[in-house]
Structure 1
Amino acid sequence: MRTLTGVGSTPLSGVGTARWYRPEADLTLPERPAPATVDGDAERARFAAARDAVRDDIREARDRAAARVGEEEAAVFEAHEQFLDDPELVDDIEAAMAEGTPAPHAVSDRFAAAIEQFEALDGPMAERADDLRDVRDRLLRALLDAAPGTDVADLPPGTVLLAERLTPSDTAALDPAAVAGIATVTGGRTAHAAIIARSLSIPAVVGVGESLRDVDAGTDLLVDGSDGRVVVDPDAATREQADTAATTPVPDRVSTADGVPITVAANVGSEAEVAPAAERGADGIGLFRTEFLFLDRESPPTEAEQYEAVTAALSAFPGEQVVVRTLDVGGDKRVPYLDLPAESNPFLGRRGIRLSLDDHRDLFETQLRALLRAAAHGGDADLAVMFPLVSRMTEVESALSAVDAVAADLEAEGVPHAIPDVGVMVETPAAVFLAGRLADAVDFLSIGTNDLTQYVMAADRENDGVAAYHDPLHPAVLRAVDRTTAAAAETDAWVGMCGEMAGDPALTELLVALGLDELSMSAVTVPAVKTRIRQIDSAAARARADEALACETRAEVVDVLGLDRD
């Protein structure tokens, strides 16, 4: 028995039989012909046809991923489509073909250069190289008419999949019922493939390094995504420890070691995610994304459809709270039947509450009717509603007025209803600066760190060119979180966090110290975060948080917190 170490990506354990996935072996290029023998026009036509086919493949992959892991995680495939149509890449490839380079070689050459550029960068930006590989491999398969030798969607039960790396497409195709674990030579926790693996609840350890290559197919392995280890030929005691950890009951509610209660809820982006969230021990739902009800269809969902989806979620969490976010489209989420206007910078355009109040008031009011009705028929659970992308007090006032108006209409119609607790998302610098006034006006604030980081750092989270700036550990982002919780502490409002940051056990101590009352995350990380909370001394944690807030760089923050990450 020996142990290999890497980065735990999904905090679960699994035991199975090693099987190597080497898709690159199926993409061997033919010998490069002399330029004079290459018909440039024919190669450009081949390339254009391949791009069309790959574009269709990417959109199908996005739809499949959205159904399995939610719209938020599936958004990566929209970035893949942007790579496919990147004018600089396309122009360079077409120029090479015009000079006598066959299409497959032109694609391979140009993508290799772009991948190398990304890999030379630091942090999460380097991990975007895998997204480029995903698009490159799709193009090469289309051009070479090649199929992968191993179908990752059809693996035998009990497989531990080993690979140099996994692309988002590879990972989204995996069957969690068959795959006992994943281990890769390269990769990081924030890579898109790792995020999808967490959403699928597949135990995963990434970045194991060269030692993983020595593991032969057919070897028994234990993948421990909590401790970031891969155990080769685990003995009976090690297997038993893993089994015990997997079956240890998750405590219903947790407090820090010195008695500070913290709610640990789940983010849910589809109806299929509700039951697993309850099974993982989530204290309710901290973010119920309603977009899945509106996407991949020809017309908006009816009031009845929305009512049924919300009441089903409420029924799954008796005695807990379910926080529903009203429709948040625009930006990276497009809804064809809404005919949203084309915008040069949609993340700074008409999205979230702006669309609901100004452009699609009818959809907003229909959704509010469903929510107020569900609040009266949700069983023992409490419904709360929050509004996304708030940046002005007038938006909150208008949204609250809409709630009152809908309640009055339902009352006049004799329809049973109730007014739920109401909150707002803190995702913009404006909301941070208004946090005190917002907290006076509503029942709670929920910090969405994905968008808050984007706007604080002026870094589009879908733009790989500025990925290094999209960093929730930057001192400016931490200070925005601290300012929000400090402002709310002067009111009766509670403060939660529902961004990716909330589900990282390595950051739990910091977030508790910053005054968060609730953390909401992918359901798979709930047990690990609950375990971490019970170990925290909040007073000592606050002292470390104050040091982090005084830092000027990310590197200083990482050092203060004792984190082991790029």
Structure 2
Amino acid sequence: MTERRLSGVGATPLSGVGTAVWYAPDAGLGPPPDPETIDADVERERFETARDAAREEIRAERERTAARLGEAEAEVFDAHVQFLDDPQITEGVEAAIDDGLPAEHAVDRTFEQFIEQFEGMEGRVAERADDLRDVRGRLVRALGGGERADLGSLPEGSVVLAERLTPSDTAQLDPDRVAGFATVTGGRTSHAAIFARSLALPAIVGVGTALRAVADGVDVVVDGRDGTLLIDPDEETRRTTAGEEAVEVRGGTVETADGAPIEVAANVGTEADLASAAERGADGIGLFRTEFLFLDRESPPGEDEQYETYRAALETFPDGRVVVRTLDVGGDKPVAYLELPDEENPFLGERGIRRSLGPDADLFETQLRALLRAAGAEAGGQLSVMLPLVATVDEVREARETMESVAADLESEGVAYALPEFGVMIETPATAFLADALVEHVDFFSIGTNDLVQYVMAAERGNDRVAALGDYRQPAVLRAIQTTVAAAQGTDVWVGMCGEMAGDPDVTELLVGLGLDELSMSAVAVPQVKRAVSETTVSEARELAARALAASTKREVDCLLTETTR
């Protein structure tokens, strides 16, 4: 057969080859019964029961996703819970029931109205329609007793083709079985694309209606680099593209074109992610999210369990650095067995280090014991401990005193330990402004751009209506980064970055120019960022950074970056 080619939007810098498998979610409901047969009170009760079931299902899926992919990806499910409780939606369903529709048809009709509204909007807001579809599907299944299609058990080597993939669809995909996916709709910022990058899955979105002509069972190549889907590829194409990455994996620390070393590390959320990070050439772990150890269980992990996990990370990178973030829960990161407050604005509430120095002090001390023991184990690697959501110097002092107290306890017990590197995440404007005072108390800073952006710009993460504001290329964000780096210059404090910005190769030159020593990201982006580093000259990078810092609008920054990537 002649090789055919379709084009869409490449979502990941990966390619894969496999067999096309079409995924079609639940079929339509069919016509509703005669309104005279409907008991509105019974249907409203059925709807409330379905909402409760869907809410629990979403919360469980959020925890699984946080553990597997990370907190940023899991946050999409917070919006799904909000849709369940949105008065416009619930009142719409109840009104439809009063009009004589059974609960499942009322849900279908009400959600369709909001889906059409979102799709009529522009940009990332339109992509929220898939979130509504996801919630609608859960409710309809709960009402009808149906089961969701199991995408986690597809035949090995499957390439999933679909009209669209919702967040819960994509979260099911197993990279060990699925060779990639392609969808008719979607954009690079869709949740399917974001999840694909976290899963390191070759993916193309927005192929268009031509994708529907691709039959089940044919061989296809998914090239997520340039957004190309090849149908019936010839043997040469299969041989050269099957399983290849867009960029060569580089082992060892990479240097700029003029010899400046930049550490390129990976963010991980589970112990299983360690091997993937090593395979993709990460120098170490720049963000080990420890929340996964505490989620989806009835009680917190003990000291020994945590010790074994941290030691495994050090053994995976015997010549590298492993930066472990202490427990970061509270607000938008619920843990079932902890008494977390119901806060009106959880992003500004009791979370991160605020809980570790308060109601979760016992958990904090247990975690520090495990970390200090791991640092003292003969596992190789440099262990570093990092505090989340710091806002004051006093918090850092108190945390350090706690660590020293834990060390004294281990010493008196005759338990082997070592003091790790000690640092803080720069994710609040307060720590950026106080960086010059914090350098006296820490060994490193790690800039968490995901939260830093939302706090600097007062633009909630995941809120599509303020997506343009919540962008790390905003001049105010760049200046907060520069303020942090400047405070560390001339000291022994190194500065890294572990937010989404670090994994964007289009801004690597800018970050080198700003003076970052380390960049940490999703493992799938490591090869690309290492290549970008090797192609960067420090003098030119500094010139780019100076021009970007002088910019007063995001548009000016975008134009500068476009010029450098041509």
- Scaled to the shorter chain, the TM-score interval is over 0.9
Segments of structure 1 that go 5 or more residues without pairing to the other structure are none
Partner of 1:357: 357
Q: 1:152 to 1:243 in 2, by over 3 A?
A: closer
Partner of 1:90: 90
Partner of 1:212: 211
Once the two structures are TM-superposed, the CA of residue 120 in structure 1 deviates from its matched residue by: 4.1
Partner of 1:73: 73
Deviates more, 1:273-282 or 1:552-561: 552-561
Partner of 1:447: 447
Once the two structures are TM-superposed, the CA of residue 445 in structure 1 deviates from its matched residue by: 0.5
Aligned equivalents of 1:284 and 1:453: distance in 2? 25
Q: CA RMSD in A?
A: 2.6
| 1:399 counterpart letter in structure 2 | A
Partner of 2:105: 105
Question: Structure 2 length as normaliser, TM-score?
Answer: 0.92
Once the two structures are TM-superposed, the CA of residue 332 in structure 1 deviates from its matched residue by: 1.2
- 8 A Cα contact 1:124 1:468, kept in partner: no
Partner of 1:539: 539
> Which aligned pairs between 1:90-489 and structure 2 lie closer than 5 A?
90-147=90-147, 151-243=150-242, 245-246=244-245, 248-463=248-463, 466-489=466-489
| 1:382 counterpart letter in structure 2 | Q
Deviates more, 1:278-287 or 1:496-505: 496-505
Aligned equivalents of 1:292 and 1:126: distance in 2? 31
Deviates more, 1:492-501 or 1:94-103: 94-103
- 8 A Cα contact 2:475 2:551, kept in partner: yes
Aligned equivalents of 1:20 and 1:91: distance in 2? 36
Aligned equivalents of 2:152 and 2:347: distance in 1? 34
Aligned equivalents of 1:563 and 1:95: distance in 2? 54
Deviates more, 1:247-256 or 1:270-279: 247-256
Once the two structures are TM-superposed, the CA of residue 37 in structure 1 deviates from its matched residue by: 5.6
- 8 A Cα contact 2:182 2:207, kept in partner: yes
Deviates more, 1:8-17 or 1:551-560: 551-560
Aligned equivalents of 2:519 and 2:457: distance in 1? 22
- 8 A Cα contact 2:324 2:386, kept in partner: yes
Deviates more, 1:315-324 or 1:275-284: 275-284
Per-residue CA shift, 1:142-199, capped at 9, x if unaligned? 3345556x64233222211111211111111122222111111222333322222223
Per-residue CA shift, 1:483-542, capped at 9, x if unaligned? 222322242211111112222223323322322211111112212221222222333333
Q: 1:435 to 1:87 in 2, by over 3 A?
A: same
Per-residue CA shift, 1:335-354, capped at 9, x if unaligned? 23221222221211111111
Q: 1:216 to 1:530 in 2, by over 3 A?
A: same
Aligned equivalents of 2:189 and 2:542: distance in 1? 26
Aligned equivalents of 1:418 and 1:122: distance in 2? 53
Once the two structures are TM-superposed, the CA of residue 122 in structure 1 deviates from its matched residue by: 4.3
Deviates more, 1:536-545 or 1:244-253: 244-253
Partner of 1:17: 19
- 8 A Cα contact 2:332 2:347, kept in partner: yes
| 2:29 counterpart letter in structure 1 | L
Matched, 1:48 2:54: no
Aligned equivalents of 1:59 and 1:356: distance in 2? 23
Aligned equivalents of 2:448 and 2:563: distance in 1? 22
Q: 1:233 to 1:534 in 2, by over 3 A?
A: farther
Q: 1:377 to 1:255 in 2, by over 3 A?
A: same
Aligned equivalents of 2:564 and 2:499: distance in 1? 21
Q: 1:97 to 1:547 in 2, by over 3 A?
A: farther
- Could you say what secondary structure the match of 1:208 adopts? coil
Aligned equivalents of 1:478 and 1:71: distance in 2? 23
- Could you say what secondary structure the match of 2:151 adopts? coil
- 8 A Cα contact 1:440 1:492, kept in partner: no
Partner of 1:510: 510
Per-residue CA shift, 1:112-160, capped at 9, x if unaligned? 2322333344443333222111111222233345556x64233222211
| 2:207 counterpart letter in structure 1 | V
Aligned equivalents of 1:564 and 1:181: distance in 2? 31
- 8 A Cα contact 2:154 2:177, kept in partner: yes
Aligned equivalents of 1:106 and 1:564: distance in 2? 52
Partner of 1:7: 9
- 8 A Cα contact 2:16 2:243, kept in partner: no
| 1:239 counterpart letter in structure 2 | R
Q: 1:405 to 1:144 in 2, by over 3 A?
A: closer
- 8 A Cα contact 2:375 2:417, kept in partner: yes
Once the two structures are TM-superposed, the CA of residue 32 in structure 1 deviates from its matched residue by: 4.6
Aligned equivalents of 2:214 and 2:510: distance in 1? 37
- Could you say what secondary structure the match of 2:108 adopts? helix
Once the two structures are TM-superposed, the CA of residue 457 in structure 1 deviates from its matched residue by: 1.8
Aligned equivalents of 2:400 and 2:108: distance in 1? 55
The total of aligned residue pairs comes to: 562
- 8 A Cα contact 2:63 2:295, kept in partner: no
Aligned equivalents of 1:326 and 1:123: distance in 2? 36
Aligned equivalents of 2:7 and 2:62: distance in 1? 32
- 8 A Cα contact 1:506 1:563, kept in partner: no
- 8 A Cα contact 2:60 2:296, kept in partner: no
Aligned equivalents of 1:291 and 1:127: distance in 2? 28
Q: Percent identity?
A: 62
Aligned equivalents of 2:214 and 2:512: distance in 1? 40
- 8 A Cα contact 1:461 1:470, kept in partner: yes
